Amino acid sequence: MNLVSPKRNVLRLCAGAVAVVVLSGCGSVHPGDAAVVEGTEISMSTADETAAAYCAVSLISAKQQGINELSGAETRRQAVSDLVTHAVAQRVAKSEGIEADPKLYELTDDQLAQIQEAFKDSNPDQVVKAILMAQETYALTIALGERAAGMELNDNNGEVIQAAGESTLVKAMEKLDIEVDDRFGLDDLTVQISDTGSLSVDEENLAATPVEELPATQRCA
């Protein structure tokens, strides 16, 4: 969960959060939207909320290494990329009559309680929403992979199934009308093409500015 596209990394932040709390197209994007997938709008506020959740998750590991602040640019890019991938996965699964196995993405009551405790100083509900989004994408990817590979998931074929599902999603993304706001530094396949990710700091300055000197809106802290 290696393709040129970053789809294999769709869960790297949110799946990490679960581990922490459980084990320890072309054209312009619609105004106010972070991205649009075949007419389905992903609002800037949704991107902001998801990025905030990713910041909270990233900081858990960072603080264990003595790092108290991180640049928000990467989490913003990853949030938008994951939201686009989720929208594509939902669209492809619906068109093929495929449903995700709830066991692959639902959280138990114990997990929810631990997330609430671990992220009580940020916004635990945002974190839960982000985790569920990312895990549903994973579950849909597995379901699509099972269909494409002609086999059911088991203990021995997970990588094959997942790769098949990811390939299906990438092919779909190449055909769908997907638009991403240029300010995120991503192309319409959500592959990074610049070092921005900022809505208020230009690319050159953001890349060269130390984290502690970035505006508060561009830092995870």
| Structure confidence by residue, pLDDT tens digits, 9-60 | 444 444 444 443 333 333 445 567 999 999 999 999 999 999 999 999 888 8
Query: In whole angstroms, what is the distance from residue 122 CA to residue 55 CA?
Result: 10
Task: Tell me the CA distances in angstroms from 47 to 113, 146, 164, one per residue in order.
Answer: 25, 30, 27
Of 126-135, 176-185, 197-206, highest mean pLDDT: 126-135
Does the pLDDT value for residue 136 go beyond 60?
Answer: yes
The greatest distance separating any two alpha carbons of the chain, rounded to the nearest whole angstrom, comes to 52
Query: Which sequence spans correspond to the domains of the chain?
Result: 11-207
Q: Are 135 and 11 in contact (CB under 8 A)?
A: yes
Query: In whole angstroms, what is the distance from residue 95 CA to residue 25 CA?
Result: 19
Name the band, by pLDDT with cuts 50, 70 and 90, for residue 216.
low
Of 4-13, 14-23, 66-75, highest mean pLDDT: 66-75
Look up the pTM and report it: 0.76
Q: Which CATH class is domain 11-207?
A: mainly alpha
Query: In whole angstroms, what is the distance from residue 65 CA to residue 3 CA?
Result: 30
